[in-house]
Structure 1
């Protein structure tokens, strides 16, 4: 057991796309000899129990079903697009923060931790860290959204621009951002008050990341160029480079022709309506000389409500360790974990980013030269077909994806999170500044 053994609390928002990477982090801390607890929703108790961590489930915080958010948050019912994204941030991530913090403080009183490592969207971890004055590390499982004046504000999916007009545009966007996010700011201030905390020591734009250390999934080549970061940022590559783990091979896996290229289509694990992307992809590629492997994103609902073309194979979830080495292209809604998994295997992408961080991810993939941004979450079959033909005929996309894959594979993400976090803790214990 290491001499620097620590008691670590890991806070994870209970969404599939957040759980997989943080489960890898929990396992890495345990393998390094640390005591680990995980705070998350009850739906994922078994997932973290399997790592050997002690699990603390949401109690005061509403223990919601990620696949039926309106059942717990009725104001989300019927919302789509940007309005849904803003409402989700307000009600799911911000307005649960004080209750999350209370759950975490109860766990701390039972057994104090030395360090809290949190999914960057777990605001309760920030509150608990402020109350306990313990080090807080954020692990960003989505692209970094740390604002700097030299770039457009995060979330607009706008490429950086040069010249006077471009800088004027960015200044205007930064000026209107406080107006656009007023409700979020008000909700955040109310949650701080409910958690018995004073005014925030940082502006609202910095609420979701630690001022001491951010471990960012991805690599600098997938970030907009900038002169520096206002906080300590360490890129750790992909935390789950093969995507879904321990998913059994579907019964048809051995029937996928070995002499045909595979195009993987995934709707992700949130907003998984198959009409958005899977149906138009089937229409676009159903007559092309490829095998389409489609994942619905739900293990319990592996089928589709419409017919599949003869060259399509459908499952709920699939192990990327088996699939991606045989895949020539991925058509995706832009989930960050899936994008990083594809790039880790050198697979170029066609991205249909509709809401949340997905348009931003699509823009970054296109800017990096590793894929095509369809600029919508509900593309027409013709747009998908054109993008696939372009991707297939231009080797530059695969070459760029393979380059990014080599950079991602240089990292051992979970191990690096442990190393960076323990360095911060050691600095705190010794009284030195990072």
Structure 2
């Protein structure tokens, strides 16, 4: 199998694709990764070949405030969401599409695999099926297609439990449609019309889930809000397995001897410019808890980025081997990164989440609804709120019980086998369609 991985140039989007890429390469398949130049080393590190987006799409997203200064001037909400979707995704659709077309000319992929907002594949999905390989997208965040209760995506709305909530959500959906999805759709259709493709008649989120040949949601079914009818493309494939040995075990490993509860707090590798958002309030919250050891990962930033002196019960590492760390901790404090949160739950670890920017409010809503942890539903949690939440998930058995049920459900899914089975099926179906088209063309030619 020849697989083309195409990623939005951000680690939260690329990392899950690299996990699937490793699966493919270990199975003897050929993989090319397409994204921005600054991610070349990341892509090549798994053994894939790298291809860069054309210059118009070859952006470096490591400093969002410089790349999109207008985004940081807005508070979380529909106006910020509209700008994120327009500036970071839709405006790069056509040069990403051109990059995919050019790459396919030299690398005739049997399947294309993208992240959940890889707009560069939309022109292919809306064009003739016969002129493209099968396309699968990874659900690298919560399932973004329309909910039964009518709440709009990225509004952070809990699942409705009453008619009044559903009525409120209908009004909220109209607001999001007016401010977010209609302007985004109008811009999207303008670009599509410029290359002769008919307009899209659904919102962007529904399109990204419903149009691909398969949409691989990286969680278990019980962590997603129920729907009367899932889009036919959706497959729940479980959390991606943690790639082992990505960082060394820390020198203070001997301190995790079971004598204290262990809490891990991280802001990931993308939103770690200001540790005052989550890490520092968590350290302050637990500083007076000598029976708790707090582990911190700085996501690659130096230890000195955390202002000292730090509480005596804190241990810091730039990175930790997650397969080791998750087996040692009793609670996970996060700003809502979907991948690491699902991986913690796959070890039966309850979580405390704090974050409302973009998708994180909706991720937190699922944490609260499923009972696997506590959602603080804010980008600026207080130390008092964090202390209360962490102590509750440590002390109240219901949270660990729900997280353990998630882990049991995840263990029943062989994610690697399921992902490869789905991709193999897509490729086989695509080849059969090619044979059928070739046969039909031959018969037409003979009849003529």
Report if aligned partners of 2:350, 2:373 keep a CA contact under 8 Å in 1.
yes
Structure 2 unmatched ranges of 5 or more: 435-448
Give the paired residue count.
426
Q: Superposition pairs for residues 235-250 of structure 1, below 5 Å? A: 235-239=236-240, 241-242=241-242, 246-250=246-250
- What do the CA deviations read for 1:143-180 (whole angstroms, capped 9, x no partner)? 11011444422222222324432332333333333202
Give 1:10 deviation, angstroms: 1.1
Please point out which of 112, 116, 130 is paired with 2:112: 116
Report if aligned partners of 1:302, 1:317 keep a CA contact under 8 Å in 2.
no
- 2:13 — aligned with what? 18
Give the alignment's TM-score, normalised by structure 2.
0.88
Give 1:130 deviation, angstroms: 4.4
- Which segment is superposed worse, 421-430 or 74-83? 74-83
Give 1:254 deviation, angstroms: 3.6
- Which segment is superposed worse, 365-374 or 50-59? 50-59
Give 1:112 deviation, angstroms: 2.3
Structure 2 SS opposite 1:81: coil
Structure 2 SS opposite 1:207: helix
- 1:309 — aligned with what? 311
Q: Equivalents in 2 of 1:45, 1:254: separation in Å?
A: 37
Q: Superposition pairs for residues 5-404 of structure 1, below 5 Å? A: 6-82=1-77, 83-130=79-126, 132-181=131-180, 182-200=182-200, 202-211=202-211, 212-239=213-240, 241-242=241-242, 246-256=246-256, 258-272=258-272, 273-288=274-289, 289-297=291-299, 299-307=300-308, 308-404=310-406
Q: Equivalents in 2 of 1:55, 1:110: separation in Å?
A: 12
Q: Equivalents in 1 of 2:369, 2:4: separation in Å?
A: 37
Structure 2 SS opposite 1:325: coil
Q: Equivalents in 2 of 1:394, 1:237: separation in Å?
A: 26
- Which segment is superposed worse, 384-393 or 334-343? 384-393
- Which segment is superposed worse, 138-147 or 168-177? 168-177
Larger radius of gyration: 2
- 1:419 — aligned with what? 421
Closer, same or farther in 2 for the Cα pair 1:190/1:252, shift >3 Å? farther
- What do the CA deviations read for 1:96-136 (whole angstroms, capped 9, x no partner)? 11111111111112232222111111110222454543321
Closer, same or farther in 2 for the Cα pair 1:203/1:278, shift >3 Å? closer
Structure 1 unmatched ranges of 5 or more: 1-5
Give the alignment's TM-score, normalised by structure 1.
0.91
Q: Equivalents in 1 of 2:5, 2:262: separation in Å?
A: 37
Q: Equivalents in 1 of 2:87, 2:244: separation in Å?
A: 28
Closer, same or farther in 2 for the Cα pair 1:293/1:162, shift >3 Å? closer
- Which segment is superposed worse, 165-174 or 306-315? 165-174
- What do the CA deviations read for 1:278-309 (whole angstroms, capped 9, x no partner)? 11111110110211101122x14343342211
Closer, same or farther in 2 for the Cα pair 1:365/1:261, shift >3 Å? same
Report if aligned partners of 2:159, 2:369 keep a CA contact under 8 Å in 1.
no
Closer, same or farther in 2 for the Cα pair 1:8/1:103, shift >3 Å? same
Q: Equivalents in 1 of 2:381, 2:248: separation in Å?
A: 30
Greater fraction helix: 2
Q: Equivalents in 1 of 2:198, 2:417: separation in Å?
A: 35
Q: Equivalents in 1 of 2:120, 2:319: separation in Å?
A: 30
- What do the CA deviations read for 1:31-56 (whole angstroms, capped 9, x no partner)? 33332211122222222223222211
- What do the CA deviations read for 1:205-247 (whole angstroms, capped 9, x no partner)? 42323523111010110111111113321101111x3378511
Structure 1 vs Structure 2 CA RMSD: 2.4
- Which segment is superposed worse, 368-377 or 253-262? 253-262
Report if aligned partners of 2:157, 2:361 keep a CA contact under 8 Å in 1.
no
